[in-house]
A and B are shown apart, each in its own frame.
Chain A
């Protein structure tokens, strides 16, 4: 430890006022150095949690046998702040994010990679909590972590910890997903309320000022996708409304047109999320979800899909939010007064506004 016998500071570091060292075990730069400590971190913290035949050999590259031939592959990085928020943390978020990307592409998620970028000084307990959340989420999703990586960066070079999770899955037979296949009359469905995750995280960040019971919707959606397997031919298009919220699925290429009544019943958002959004001048349609699906399906299977979704805990709030009106065009909101508002992607960051 510095201070004891170390070199004296040439001047008093006034900027460190109020800085107190504690006894807490922390991540050190050496934990990423590839030596003893790295090995220890992997053997004590990673392997016991994610142990499986492939990972136990600690491969830099995993050799996998994948049932079927049509493979889906995705990657996603997670840098959420704060690391812990009501309803989840960066650990389960990372698993859900990657699993959901595979699922909404019509896939069954199988294998994940787990890359950790840790900040020097990160409390060990935080690392453990996050890894535990990863473990719980992978178990719940039926996926295994098969390879990974750990790097430690100097204090100040990252915000505690970042995760990168790549995912490999098998395509379910039958899905032909493309916005191109959307036809007039198709139904637009969502599996639950929109925007809760983004608003919950924002509130957690501004916790000094705001207090709500709002929780993130972070959850896997692969079971919701499996629930649609009887109707693969009738499912035209699916997305998980993550970054940018429901707007990117509405503004995808090729473009498709639909109208979403602004005040549809049952309302696809919670009053608290809507209130926070209004207070901060942010559109709820731009606020991310991490456990929802937006799907466009043939009208005749609407009720069947909704019933199948609602039978699952993660699909309780499923509802039809609109209708496709033309193969090409724009998705717009129908206002109470009969006006149309085009749904657009957000510009820049999600920031509180005053005008």
Chain B
């Protein structure tokens, strides 16, 4: 439910809009729902609106943990085969 994806802010416009980017795809988004949006921030986009900023340190840590888990899983599976 509630499909939302992280994108990086690449432009902040005066009217509350801005551009966000992921994998070379840029999208016109609305930034009025988050505090002080800045170029370089990662935001969660839902239906064209940034609904939350992403905590980058937290994200990096969590994704590193996931990578470890996936790695461990793959290794154990390859071992079993």
Contacts and interface: CB of A to CB of B under 8 A. Distances in A.
A211 B27 CA distance: 6
B27 A337 contact: no
Interface of A: 203, 208-214, 271-272, 274-276, 278-279, 281, 336-338, 353-355
Contacts of A275: 5, 22-25
A209 B48 contact: yes
Interface residues of B, number: 20
Nearest to A280: B3
A87 B46 CA distance: 29
Contact of A211 (B23, B26, B46, B77): B26
Chain A contact residues: over half helix, strand or loop, or mixed?
loop
B47 interface: yes
A224 to B, nearest CB: 27
Given A279-B45, A354-B46, 18 more contacts: A210-B25, A210-B27, A210-B28, A211-B25, A211-B27, A212-B25, A212-B26, A214-B25, A275-B23, A275-B25, A278-B5, A279-B5, A281-B3, A336-B70, A336-B74, A338-B77, A354-B2, A354-B3
Given A354-B2, A355-B2, A213 B28 contact: no
B23 A271 contact: yes
B1 interface: yes
11 contacts: A210-B25, A210-B26, A211-B19, A211-B26, A211-B27, A212-B24, A214-B25, A276-B25, A279-B22, A354-B3, A355-B2
A214 B27 CA distance: 13
A213 B27 contact: no
Contacts of A353: 3
Contacts of A213: 24
Nearest to B19: A211
Interface in B9-47: 19, 22-28, 45-47
Interface string B41-81: 00001111000000000000000000000100110010000
A338 B73 CA distance: 9
Chain B contact residues: over half helix, strand or loop, or mixed?
mixed
Nearest to A277: B25
Contacts of B73: 336-338
With most chain A CB atoms within 10 A of its CB, the pick from B1, B24, B46, B48 is B24
Given A208-B28, A337-B73, A355 B23 contact: no
Nearest to B22: A275
Nearest to A199: B25
A279 B3 CA distance: 8
Nearest to B20: A279
Contacts of A338: 73, 77
Contacts of B77: 338
Given A278-B5, A279-B5, A355-B3, A272 B24 contact: yes
A203 B28 CA distance: 12
With most chain A CB atoms within 10 A of its CB, the pick from B1, B2, B22, B25 is B25
A275 B25 CA distance: 7
Given A338-B73, A354-B2, A355-B2, A279 B46 contact: no
B62 to A, nearest CB: 16
A355 B1 contact: yes
